[in-house]
Amino acid sequence: MRCDVLTLFPRMISSALDESILKRARDKGLLDVRVTDIRDFTANKRRTADDSPYGGGAGMVLKAEPIVKAVDFIREEEKDLRIILLSPQGRRYDQTTAHELSREERRIVFLCGHYEGIDERVKIILSPEEISIGDYVLTGGELAALVVIDSAVRLIPGVVGDSSSIEEESFNSILDYPHYTRPSEFRGVQVPPVLVSGDHENIRRWRRRQALLNTVRKRPDLLSGEILTEEDRELLEEIKEEESL
């Protein structure tokens, strides 16, 4: 995945990209990110990238010129860009879009808004896709851009160790099963015996049952769109009886 992040706070982005799996993905050449300070494209000495809104009102608005110029600069190198504006007014981000971005061939340009808003002409001129990571308002688009990058990058083959778990995930939108590691007893709580039984078929069935149980209890809405196997239907019947649903 190749991307540019345009931001007023480049260190917010680069500090996250320098840790953990994102760092490893970059070192392996699976993620190429350039972070650009929008202020580098301002025309004035004081490098101001915001101004008060026409028509009055509280707060400041991000100016159009530095953002559009920064995108022009990237376009000189590469014409066909996918431009994404992070904003609470965007289409809701989800795992399907994460998969799609992980396979994107074009360079992705993330525009991080800040302050009260962004001059509308950025949208008119660049026609970006608008993406929201949820129905709440952040102080800026930086954390949202990082959420999007992180969730897409981990789906690129070779970024995380076990690709079979990612494959499993891509076909199943149900919740996860519980995980345990050593010791087998902690503060009086035992690991479920099936997990130490060595019976792989039983373990697989137990995990699937727990995943379905978790989903029934916490996110039953996820099950309505899910394609279920014969085994899933059996397990769900058992669960529903037990939970007296």
Is-contact 4 31, C-beta < 8 A? no
CB-nearer residue toward ligand ADE: 53 or 90 = 90
For residues 231, 233, 238, 244, the Cα torsion angle rounded to the nearest 10 degrees is: 160
Residue 87 CB, shortest distance to ligand ADE, in Å, is 5
CB-nearer residue toward ligand ADE: 85 or 174 = 85
With CA atoms as reference, report the closest residue to 12 among 131, 149, 132, 109.
Answer: 149
CB-nearer residue toward ligand ADE: 59 or 158 = 59
Q: Which positions from 204 through 223 interact with ligand ADE, judged by CB under 6 A? A: none
CA distance 165 to 49: 44
Single-letter residue type at 122: V
Q: Which positions from 11 through 70 interact with ligand ADE, judged by CB under 6 A? A: none
CB-nearer residue toward ligand ADE: 40 or 116 = 116
Out of 14, 26, 88, 214, the only residue in the binding site for ligand ADE (CB under 6 A) is 88
Total of residues contacting ligand ADE (CB under 6 A): 12
Is-contact 148 93, C-beta < 8 A? yes
CB-nearer residue toward ligand ADE: 134 or 178 = 134
**DSSP state at residue 219:** -
Buried b (16+ CB within 10 A) or exposed e, 101-118: bbeeeebbbbbbbbbebb
CB-nearer residue toward ligand ADE: 143 or 228 = 143
Residue 41 CB, shortest distance to ligand ADE, in Å, is 21
Residue 136 CB, shortest distance to ligand ADE, in Å, is 6
Out of 144, 155, 235, 236, the only residue in the binding site for ligand ADE (CB under 6 A) is 144
Where would I find the H helices in the chain? Answer: 10-17, 20-27, 64-77, 95-102, 121-126, 142-153, 163-171, 200-218, 221-224, 230-242
Residue 139 CB, shortest distance to ligand ADE, in Å, is 7
Q: Which positions from 100 through 139 interact with ligand ADE, judged by CB under 6 A? A: 113, 132-134, 136-138
Residue 5 CB, shortest distance to ligand ADE, in Å, is 13
Position 86 contacts ligand ADE (CB under 6 A): yes
Residue 114 β-bridge partners: 140
CA distance 208 to 119: 49
Residues interacting with ligand ADE, by CB under 6 A?
A: 86-88, 113, 132-134, 136-138, 141, 144
